[in-house]
Structure 1
Amino acid sequence: MNIHLGYRPGCIGRVTELHASFYSRTVGFGAPFEAKVAAELAQFCLDYTPGRDGLWLAEQEDGQLHGSIAIDGSHYQASGAHLRWFITSDHSRGNGLGSSLLNAAMDFCKASGYERIYLWTFDELHAARHLYEKHGFRLSRSQRGAQWGKEVNEQMFTLGMR
């Protein structure tokens, strides 16, 4: 599996597909979630600024995309760098790809001088939480919410880097 930095043709659709199929199957998210992922990821790619933002895509040798992670630094001064669109395909889950993607994003944050990183998730994703905590993220906020189209226990994890 190769990890590439930056936009690749088709990545918006494939990253959206990975999110939509996984979250539909595991928690019942539907069209509102898929549309939110597609719209926000598309806007991120249009506004992408090298050095401020990062998008890593995990691809097999045949070009098939199996994972992604992004760092959105556009609002860093106000709220920190935002870790987003972190997912791996069913085929690649559990083989260390998630750790590799997260390491690439964390290395970028260190090199960019980002001292605060945050992400939003929800409490049903135990494997992801374990990975976040392994990398130093801590739960900083929990609330009921429906930002993804279905009410869940939303969680904000933060990491302060020095």
Structure 2
Amino acid sequence: METIEIREFTAADADWVVARHGVLYAQEAGFDASFEALVAEIVASFATSHDPARERGWIAERAGRRVGCIFCVRLDATTAKLRLFLVEPETRGTGLGRRLLDTCLGFAKHCGYARLSLWTHESHRAACALYKARGFACESSHPVHSFGQDLIEQSWTIDL
């Protein structure tokens, strides 16, 4: 198996991040097009106005093919937010998710953030298990109707 490299996000990755989120979340969770539209807004904002000293995105690649991503953005002066965490199905179970998460956590610590937060849905069980194993705590959980689905929305945080 080829090595999976993690590199910094570039503007050339934007379309892939949006498209893969749209496709995978539609296939795996039944999300409608409003989810892909939200991802497009997040990626466009990041690409045009992020602070590279305190915000970063990463792309995982295997043999020149993108297989995952994660982003760390500023929420406020002391809190960073994890966004757009995705691992392609064929690389799940390889430790890539943990590597991407550790990359994001390490960057947030290096930047001096005190906390890292994230927003997800209870149905993303593998990701939630990874967050819990890494020390995140689920701070809130409530039902919502989003992206064409009835979901349980969750907010998780970890002190850095």
- Calculate the TM-score normalised by the size of structure 1: 0.90
| Mean Cα deviation higher: 51-60 or 13-22 | 13-22
* Displacement after TM superposition at 1:24 (Å): 0.9
**1:7-86, aligned counterparts within 5 Å?**
7-9=10-12, 11-62=13-64, 64-73=65-74, 75-77=75-77, 80-86=79-85
Deviations 1:113-155 (A, max 9, x none): 1111110001111110111111110100111223544331100
Measure the CA separation in 2 of the matches of 1:45 and 1:8.
6
Structure 2 CA distance, aligned partners of 1:46 and 1:150?
Answer: 30
5, 9, 12: which one aligns with 1:6: 9
Contact 2:77 2:113 in 1 (8 A): no
Q: 1:55, CA displacement in angstroms?
A: 0.4
User: 1:77 Cα shift?
Assistant: 2.4
Percent of matched pairs sharing the same residue: 32
Distance 1:146 1:51 in 2: 36
| Aligned partner letter, 1:158 | T
Unaligned runs of 5+ in 2: none
Conserved 8 A contact 2:141-2:155: yes
The one-letter code sitting in structure 1 at the alignment partner of 2:26 is S
The secondary structure found in structure 1 opposite 2:91 is: coil
Q: Is 1:141 the equivalent of 2:144?
A: no
Q: Secondary structure at the match of 1:52?
A: coil
Gaps of 5+ in 1: none
Question: Which stretches of structure 1, 4 residues or longer, exceed 6 Å deviation after superposition?
Answer: none
TM-score normalized by the length of structure 2: 0.91
Contact kept in structure 1, 2:6 and 2:58, CA below 8 Å: yes
Matching residue's letter, 1:41: V
Give SS of 2:63's match.
coil
